[in-house]
Chains A and B, each alone.
Chain A
Amino acid sequence: MSRSRVMFLVFALASIAFSTRLPAVSPSAARSMELTGTVKDAGGKPLEGVAVSAKAEGSSMTTSVWTNQDGAFAFPALEAGRYRVWAQAIGFDRPVADMPVTPGHGTRQDFTLKAVEIIPRSLSTAEWMQSLPSETSFDRRMKMVVLNNCSNCHLPANWLEKHFDADSWNTVLDYMEKIAPDGDVPESSAGDPPGRRAGGAEFPKGELDANGQPISVHTKLMRFYRSDLVEYLTRVAGPKALPLKAKPFPRPTGVATQIVVTEYDLPFNRPGGVGKLDPGTGKVSFLQMREGKTIVQDATIDARNEYRSGSDWSWGTRDEHLERGTHDIAIGVDGNVYFGMNAMSPDPARGYVWYSNGRAITRVDVKAGALKSYPGLRYPLSHGTQVDSKGNVWGSFGLGFVRLNVDSGEIKEFNTATPYSRPYDVGVDRFDNAWVSQLALDRLAVVDGKTGEVKEVALPPLTSPDLRPEDLEILRTVGSWDHNAAPGQQGPRRMSADARGDYVYTGLYWAGGIAQIDARTKTFVKIHSLPELRWAQPYKPIADKNHMVWFSNSAADILGQLNPNTGKITLYPLPTRGTNSRHLAVDDTTDVPTVWVPYTAAGKVARVQFRFDTSKN
C-alpha cells in the first residue's frame, strides 16, 4: 500500500473515530431512512407506543422515537456510528440491538417484545401511587398524606420499592424531622417559615423542632401524621408488603407517539457557573464571573453508569439531585440551552438569560457571552424571574415580589397582601401585571402593572370525602410549606403567564392539575386535569407562541400539553424513568415550537420535537 493510501486510510479512520465520539445532532425531527423498523409482540401483533431509543458508541446523546399504530418507527437523520438500539414498554422485556448506521443507507431493525410480569420499580411515581391500595377511605387518605409529606424530597417510586419494618421507618422519619425544617425563609431561598401558618396566627411558643428551633409548619405536619405514616408505610412498604396491582399509564397512542426526544447527557463534574449546552454537538461549557470578567470553561462529559441513567426502566427511580441533572433551563437567542442556576428565564427580545445568584440578579448577554450581576436584593430570590415588556426583571422572594430596573439598577419590593404566603414562582402577563404563586395559601398574588396595587386570586379548595375532620383542622391551623402540606392543599408551585395571551397558569403540585386564571379580569377560570395527573405533580407550565400550554410533571415521566381553547390535555412520554422534571423551556423559533425538559433526577436535558402541528392538537 502506498504511503498516500496509508495516510488516507489513517485520516478516514480518524474521521470516523472522531465522528463516532462526537456526532452532530440533526436539527430536524423528520423521518429519515437510516434506522427504521417495526415492533411486534410474541404473537406477531404490532405494538403502538413502544419507545425505541438509539445511542451511538461514545456519544452523549440518546434519540428516542415511538411506534405508531402499525408498530412502525423511523428515526430522524442519524450521524454515522455504531449504535445501541433498544425497545421498551412496561410489561414487556427490553431487547437491545447493536448495529452500524451509515447516513444515506437504510438500516432496518425489527423487535419482538415478550410479555413479562410488570416489575413494580419500573413504574413512575405517579403510576406507583395510583397502584397503591385504594379500597378503604384510610388508604385513599394516606396516599394524599404520603404525597404531601414525602414526595418533594424523595420521589415515592424510589422508596416505595424498599421494605422496612416500623423501627426502621421511624429511624428514617427521625432524620427527616432534622432535614426538612432546615433553612429560614425569607433569609434563605428555601427552608422553614416563621413559626406560623401562612397568613395565620403564630404557633404557641415552647415546642421545638428536632434541631432545637421553634417549631414550624414542616415539623408540625410530620409529627401530626407520623404514627399514621409509619403504620401505612409498614403495610405498603414493609417486611410483608402487599402485592402490588400495577396500574401503569396506557402506552401513548396517536399524536402522542409522533415525537422525537433527544436526551443530552450533562457533565457530572462541573467547574461552576451557568452551563451552556450546544444542541448541535452536545458540547457543554460553563460561564463564570471572575474578577469582573466572564470566563468560559469547557466541561468533559464522561460516560455515566447506565444502571443509574434511567434508560433501563427496570432499574427504577433515583433520588432527587444525586445524578447531577439540572433543575432550571432557559433557551438563549443563540439556540443554546442555558442551565444549572436558580430562577432562570429567557428575555429573547433583548438577548438575555436571567437567573438569581445569592443576593444578586444576574444575566447572560447571550450574543456577547458575558455575565453581568445586579446586586442589592435584601433577601435571595425564591424560585422565579421574568421580564416585563420594558425589560424590567421581576422575581419572587420570601415576602412577595421584587422588580429590577435594569437601566438604573434600582430594586423595588412589593409585599404580598397576606404575609408569609410562600411566594414561589413569578410570571408577567401581557399587561405587565406581575404574578406570584403563593404555595402555602392556594392563591396567586398580582401586582397591577399600572397602579402597583397588589391583590390576590384564590383557587377553589381541594375537597375529598376521605379527608377527616382532623385533616381539615390541620389544614386550617398549620397548612403547608415547601416540603409538607396538609391534605386538601392545591399547591400552586410553579407558574407563568402567556406573554401574548390572556391567561396565567399554575401547576397544582399537591392536587394534580393546571389552574387557569384570566389576566384581564384577575379571576380564576378553571382547573384542567386528567386522572393520570392526580399523582403526577404538575410543575412548570409555559405557553408557546400558539397559546398551547406545556407543562412538566415532577412525579411522572411525561410532558403535558394543555390546549386551553378546547381543554384537551395530551400526555407525551419521556424515555427515561425517574426524570423528576420540574422546570421547562419552550423554543418558539422553530415552526412547530420545540419543548425542552430538564431532568433533576437524571443527568440529562431532553429536547422534544413534534412531527405534527401541535397548535391544531
Chain B
Amino acid sequence: MNGSLVLRLLLLFLLASLPISVAARVAAQEEGGGGASALGVTVGKLQTEEQKRGDAIFHKNCHLCHIATGQKRSLKINADELVGLFKRPNINEQGVRQLIQTGIPKRMPSFQYNFTPAEVDDLIAYLKIR
C-alpha cells in the first residue's frame, strides 16, 4: 500500500467523521441569523497576504463541501471542515497538495486544472492556520 493511498483512505475516514461541535455551532448561528444559509467558521487570524489570498480561494472553491451546515448534516453529506488539518497525525503538505490535484473519485472533484502553483501555495498557507 503506497503513501498516497494511505492518505486517501485517511481523508476518506476524516470526511466521514463530521466535527459535530462546529456543525452545531453553525446550525445555531443559522437559526438566529436570518438570511444566511452557509457560514464560515472562525479560523486562525489571517496575517500574511498569502493566507488572505488562500482564505479567498478556499471560500470560492472548497466551501460547498468543507463548511458544514445543518442542511448538509440532515442529508448526511459529511463535511470535514478541515479545521486544524495540519495538526492531525499523518497529514503532510505533499499529501494535501496531491489530494487537491487528484480529488477523490465520486467524492471530491479534481482541481488539477484549476489552480496555478502560486494559488495552491496560498491555499496551503491558509489551510495551515484554519
Contacts and interface: CB of A to CB of B under 8 A. Distances in A.
Interface stretch (A166-174, A536-544, A558-566): A166-174
Contacts of A182: 71, 74-75
A342 B71 CA distance: 18
A278 interface: no
B46 A164 contact: no
A271 B107 CA distance: 35
Interface string B1-43: 0000000000000000000000000000101111111111000
B32 A271 contact: yes
B62 to A, nearest CB: 10
A174 B64 CA distance: 13
A326 B36 CA distance: 8
B110 A168 contact: yes
B52 interface: yes
Contacts of B108: 171
A341 B114 CA distance: 36
Contact of A171 (B59, B75, B106): B106
A318 interface: yes
Count class of interface residues, chain A: 35 or more
A168 B103 contact: yes
Interface in B74-130: 74-75, 77, 103, 105-110, 113-114
B113 to A, nearest CB: 4
Contacts of A34: none
A282 to B, nearest CB: 19
A119 to B, nearest CB: 13
A171 B107 contact: yes
A322 B40 contact: yes
B36 A274 contact: no
Contacts of A305: 46, 52, 55-56
A324 interface: yes
A165 B109 CA distance: 8
Contacts of A165: 110, 113
B68 interface: no
Interface centre among B34, B36, B65, B105, by most A CB within 10 Å? Answer: B34
A274 B109 contact: no
Contacts of A140: none
Contacts of B29: 270, 272
B63 A322 contact: yes
13 contacts: A164-B109, A167-B105, A169-B109, A171-B108, A171-B109, A270-B33, A307-B52, A318-B59, A319-B63, A321-B38, A322-B38, A322-B40, A340-B34
Given A165-B110, A327-B35, 17 more contacts: A158-B60, A163-B114, A164-B114, A167-B109, A168-B109, A171-B106, A175-B65, A175-B77, A179-B72, A182-B71, A268-B40, A274-B34, A305-B46, A319-B64, A322-B38, A322-B59, A339-B35
